[in-house]
Amino acid sequence: MSEKVLMKGNEAIAEAAIRAGCRHYFGYPITPQTELAAYMAKRMPKIDGVFLQAESEIAAINMVYGVSSAGLRVMTSSSSPGVSLKQEGISYIAGSDLPALIVNVERGGPGLGGIQPSQSDYFQATKGGGHGDYHLIVLTPASVQEMADLTALAFDLSDKYRVPAMLLADGTIGQMMEPVELPAESGCTVEKPWAVTGTKMQRRHNIVNSLYLVPEELERTNIERFERYAQIEANEVRYEKFMTEDADVCVVAFGIAARVSKNAVIAARNEGIKAGLIRPITVWPFPKKAIAEAAKHVKGFVSVELSMGQMIEDVRLACECTRPVSLCSRVGGMIPSPDEVLESIKKMNGGLK
């Protein structure tokens, strides 16, 4: 049998996490990410790992906090309402400078919303989500292969910078099946001298904590953390450019919206319209330079999203409002069709006021 297998996006995340050395998974079922937990439930006992269905999402994220404190690769996953519940824990993990992987396979919101796909947790993922000054490294897969590849990358980046990472997927990418080549076995390559692993009476004990009694110390810690964020913004931006070199109209889209947009860009080119696509793979850090570069020659941008317009704000900021930015979106579990995106491209090409 070949090396490639046919997997659901959710399963690909789970298997890739295991191959990246993650042996601790804490979760709680919610559509449309349940296959991830179900896969972990089957696999973890066979490899001496821990699968634990917690009593709630809040419990699960705090179990992640605990295992990460002990220096091990650990993850949790959920979908939009469940990720909202995790926000307090995520803030504590960020405030304790711990690596961890949080997966959000988004569904429609707000509130209980629905079980169909969505990208409307963009603000929550990229602008904080919980309280306090912090960022997550946010990766947005657009295929089952990327579900696997970005899971491995998320663990690496998270360990390297001691910043929690989020895989921000949508229900469609989670549910769809595609052939995938699973990443090789790997594991953490950085030292974790801060981990709470027992002193064996040979060193001072480590403390993992987000509480600082002295204001000056908390300020210093925040500033130091933002220096790491600056390094991430300088070194870890990832995106894909598609036919942007001579583009008059630049579409910006990630995840499932980018797949639809790519087809729309091809359709536009076939009609003689010079369209291109920038697909952010990291949405924090956002590919600001790529957008700014494109702004030098495009008439305008079209932000294609499964939300009422969230990423569009980052596109506007990145081009410093030097070009018009329009929104093409569907919400509530709907996905924009290639024709709808093409229509938006045509409007922008004709000139927007």
Please report, as ranges, the residues that interact with other proteins according to CB under 8 A: 1-2, 4-8, 11, 15, 31-32, 35, 38-39, 42, 108, 113-117, 171-172, 175-179, 182, 256, 259-260, 263, 332-333, 335, 337-338
Nearer to other proteins, 178 or 313 (CB): 178
Least distance in angstroms from the C-beta of 274 to other proteins: 23
Report whether 136 contacts 90 (CB < 8 A).
yes
Report whether 116 contacts 174 (CB < 8 A).
no
Least distance in angstroms from the C-beta of 301 to other proteins: 21
CA dihedral defined by 55, 144, 71, 233, rounded to 10 degrees?
Answer: -120
Least distance in angstroms from the C-beta of 30 to other proteins: 9
Nearer to other proteins, 41 or 292 (CB): 41
Question: Crossing angle for the helix pair 34-43 and 9-19, nearest 10 degrees?
Answer: 40
Nearer to other proteins, 198 or 332 (CB): 332
Query: Closest Cα partner for 283 from 125, 145, 173, 129?
Result: 125
Q: Cα separation of 154 and 20, whole Å? A: 10
Nearer to other proteins, 38 or 237 (CB): 38
Report whether 35 contacts 8 (CB < 8 A).
yes
Nearer to other proteins, 79 or 96 (CB): 79
Neighbouring residues of 41: CB distance < 8 A, sequence distance ≥ 6? 51, 53
Strand order across the beta sheet in which 165-170 lies: 50-53, 24-27, 74-78, 101-106, 165-170, 137-139, 282-284
Nearer to other proteins, 54 or 176 (CB): 176
Least distance in angstroms from the C-beta of 15 to other proteins: 6
Least distance in angstroms from the C-beta of 258 to other proteins: 9
Least distance in angstroms from the C-beta of 257 to other proteins: 9
169, containing H or E segment? strand 165-170
The neighbouring-strand residues paired with 76 are 102
Nearer to other proteins, 192 or 259 (CB): 259
Least distance in angstroms from the C-beta of 312 to other proteins: 20
